[in-house]
Amino acid sequence: MPNGSGLFGYIINSQAVFTIQNLSDHNKYFLFTLGHYGFIPQGLYYSVIDMTLNGGLGDVVNGMKNIPVYGGENTANWMSGTRHKNNKDAWLIVRSIVPSQYLAYKITSSGIDTIPIVSPSIVNTTIVWPENYGGTLKISQDGNKIITN
């Protein structure tokens, strides 16, 4: 994509990118990226992709690139999403390192809810390269449980 270079994300992250379709405009997508924890840019960002641009091949919308997501400043590597139980909205779930907690962002037809639902984690994660830099976050099919390593 012509405007797709320079997206904040870190190649070593096992889950550095996640996409959720815009629920009010099916030609657009929210592209969530995670920066490199401990370095700049760090945290959770999103960009908007419009599939009607670039002759139908899609492009990142000008001015809608690398937008920081409130509360996601200390997130790293762990990111996943699932459909909401109402079967129309979606959830994006990320892992915050400091403090050790999960952040769940609801995506509706109005956009991204910038106030996440916060759930404490009983697992204290310390990012140390290369021993434990990485990991994944998976959500059960019914959306009731998450697991991370």
DSSP state, residue 124: P
Cβ(92)–Cβ(18) under 8 Å? yes
Query: Digits of tens for pLDDT over the chain (149 positions)?
Result: 889 888 887 766 667 789 999 999 999 999 999 887 666 788 899 999 999 999 999 999 999 999 999 998 888 778 899 999 998 999 999 988 877 889 999 999 999 998 999 998 876 665 555 445 566 788 888 888 887 77
Q: Which of 60, 30, 58, 63 is nearest to 44 (CA)?
A: 30
Dihedral sign for Cα 117, 81, 12, 3, please.
negative
List the structure tokens of 82. Answer: 């699932």
Cβ(19)–Cβ(76) under 8 Å? no
DSSP secondary structure letters along 112-125: E-SS-EEEE-SSPP
Query: Could you tell me which residues come within 8 angstroms of residue 26 by beta carbon, excluding any fewer than 6 positions away?
Result: none
Place of tokens 């959720």: 20
Cα separation, 90 vs 97, whole angstroms: 23
| Domain ranges (residues) in the chain | 17-148
